[in-house]
Chain A
Amino acid sequence: AQKITQTQPGMFVQEKEAVTLDCTYDTSDQSYGLFWYKQPSSGEMIFLIYQGSYDEQNATEGRYSLNFQKARKSANLVISASQLGDSAMYFCAMRAPNSGGYQKVTFGTGTKLQVIP
């Protein structure tokens, strides 16, 4: 069974500081993809970053980087130089084939990040 675990229901970070949001996953598949999404209070889901299971380098997108540790099955999101606009819910997600053979995306429970001025 596929599972995504986000153990931090809420996080605070000082503006301009870096913050790490934790995500661990569990799958028996060798081929999978990991995603991070941001959900502001408006409700929409914003794609941030993607890491494929066979990608050897950690993914980076601007101020976002994904610390991919395959052996530990972790895919932490690092946000550098936090901004007030980063305050939102953050979801970690994994896409992998399920027992039926089709791709399924599983989401974590989310981490609410609040950036303090």
Chain B
Amino acid sequence: GAVVSQHPSRVICKSGTSVKIECRSLDFQATTMFWYRQFPKQSLMLMATSNEGSKATYEQGVEKDKFLINHASLTLSTLTVTSAHPEDSSFYICSARGSSGGVTDTQYFGPGTRLTVL
């Protein structure tokens, strides 16, 4: 089946540093990638939607200068949390939209990245 990978799975960083999270679709081409944030015991919150080769569309309330998204190819999207602060600590999940294994046009999620900012 379709696989979406995220790297790293866990990251601990100091306040003020930047962290880059990679999201890759491993066996299909993702026309669209989504980045979500999840707080403990809560639902996923969509941060932004990105199409390959174009600028990401951010949801209301999400700072585009703080959460930089690059979708350079049909299989890779990156989320960079710039000048991270403790309140940015969260679980970040990417999702890739594509077709794989006979299932057309659905979304597959990465395993998530746990970010802890000290």
Interface contacts (Cβ under 8 Å), in number, total: 53
**B107: A residues at CB distance < 8 A:** 35, 47, 95, 105
Q: Say if the beta carbon of B67 comes within 8 Å of chain A.
A: no
Q: Which of A43, A91, A109 contacts B114 (CB 8 A)?
A: A43
**Quick check: which of B11-19, B21-29, B41-49 contacts chain A, the rest being far away?**
B41-49
Q: How far is the CB of A7 from chain B (nearest CB, A)?
A: 14
Instruction: Specify the main secondary structure of chain B where it touches its partner.
Output: strand
Q: Say if the beta carbon of A45 comes within 8 Å of chain B.
A: yes
Q: A104 and B106 in contact (CB under 8 A), knowing A42-B111, A43-B91? A: no
**Are B46 and A105 in contact (CB-based, < 8 A)?**
yes
Closest to B91 in A: A43
Complex Cα spacing A31 to B24, Å: 28
**Are A43 and B111 in contact (CB-based, < 8 A)?**
yes
**A91: B residues at CB distance < 8 A:** 43-44
**Are A103 and B32 in contact (CB-based, < 8 A)?**
yes
**B97: A residues at CB distance < 8 A:** 103
**Are A107 and B103 in contact (CB-based, < 8 A)?**
no
Q: Say if the beta carbon of A50 comes within 8 Å of chain B.
A: yes
Task: Kindly identify, within residues 61 to 117 of chain A, every residue whose CB is under 8 Å from any CB belonging to chain B.
Answer: 91, 95, 100, 102-110
Closest to A37 in B: B109
Complex Cα spacing A33 to B107, Å: 11
Complex Cα spacing A109 to B107, Å: 18
- Other A-B contacts than A44-B110, A44-B111, A110-B43, 4 sampled, CB-CB below 8 A, are A35-B107, A43-B91, A47-B107, A104-B49
- Of the A-B pairs whose beta carbons lie under 8 Å apart in the complex, a sample of 26, sorted by A's number, is A33-B105, A33-B106, A35-B106, A37-B109, A43-B91, A43-B93, A44-B93, A44-B110, A45-B93, A45-B95, A45-B109, A45-B110, A47-B106, A50-B106, A91-B43, A95-B107, A103-B32, A103-B49, A104-B46, A104-B49, A105-B34, A105-B46, A105-B95, A107-B44, A107-B46, A110-B43
Q: Enumerate chain B interface residues (CB-CB to A < 8 A).
A: 32, 34, 38, 42-44, 46, 49, 57, 91, 93, 95, 97, 103, 105-112, 114
